[in-house]
Amino acid sequence: MTSAWLAFWDTLNWHVNARHKDVHYRRIAQDIARYLPSPTAHVLDYGSGEALHADLVATAAGEVLLCESAPRVRASIATRFADNPKLRVLAPEQVERLPQQSLDLILIHSVTQYLTRDEAGALFALFHRLLKRSGMLVVSDVITPAVPAISDALALLRLGAANGFLIATFGSLVRIRLSDYWRLRTLGLTRYDEAAMIEKLAAAGFFARRANENIGYNQARMTVVGRPR
């Protein structure tokens, strides 16, 4: 992830409002929990963001590691979950030092679009080393080439309408259009179609397939599930 994107995500204020943030992270946590293989699973959420409801995942798992590159966000979640013995917050360099084949599930949600293809390949190779042979990698919220930017706005509007923050969403979309997000997005996001993502995961040592549903509220995006070969 470039320093410019990191600086943007480190602002802690890109959600529409507190209701949006709560709904967004609760949905992600609930979706992650459905992938847990057992109540003792060791889980890594790589690029977790604020992860407001990671405790829901931790309740159903043995341990949850939250890795976040943005320093302010990482400090915020470390403070929030300081008293939860089943949650640990890590920097990316700490993830690299985790024991081999120590994890049952790795999730990387809405991150690949901010990585170059080489960066994603290196990360998938790291995940292959960290996962148990029976483990699972879930790569979610992948933007495909066929998905226009307007689809993100429409998904957010539908979420706002269903959860009581529709009016606030219109104002937020204007704010986003005038923010650094739009400038950064015009510089390009890394996109994968289904075949390209499966090929990228295969190169890192995974059998992969597309899931029926994407994690989160934006079903125009894609989730791909990989298992170590």
CATH number for the domain that contains residue 87: 3.40.50.150
- Residue 2 pLDDT greater than 70, yes or no: no
For tokens 């979420």, the residue is 159
What pLDDT, on a 0 to 100 scale, did the predictor assign at position 21? 87
Write down the pTM of the prediction: 0.89
What pLDDT, on a 0 to 100 scale, did the predictor assign at position 225? 98
- pLDDT tens digits, one per residue of 28-65: 999 999 999 999 999 999 999 999 999 999 999 999 99
Report helix, strand or coil for 64.
Answer: strand
What pLDDT, on a 0 to 100 scale, did the predictor assign at position 168? 83
Q: Can you tell me the mean pLDDT for 204-215?
A: 98
- Residue 213 pLDDT greater than 90, yes or no: yes
Alpha-carbon gap, residue 94 to 72, rounded angstroms: 17
Instruction: Name the residue range of residue 101's domain.
Output: 3-228
Burial of 145 (0-12, 13-18, 19+ CB in 10 A): exposed
For tokens 């360099």, the residue is 93
Q: Band of the pLDDT at 200, cuts 50, 70, 90? A: very high
The total number of structural domains that make up the chain: 1
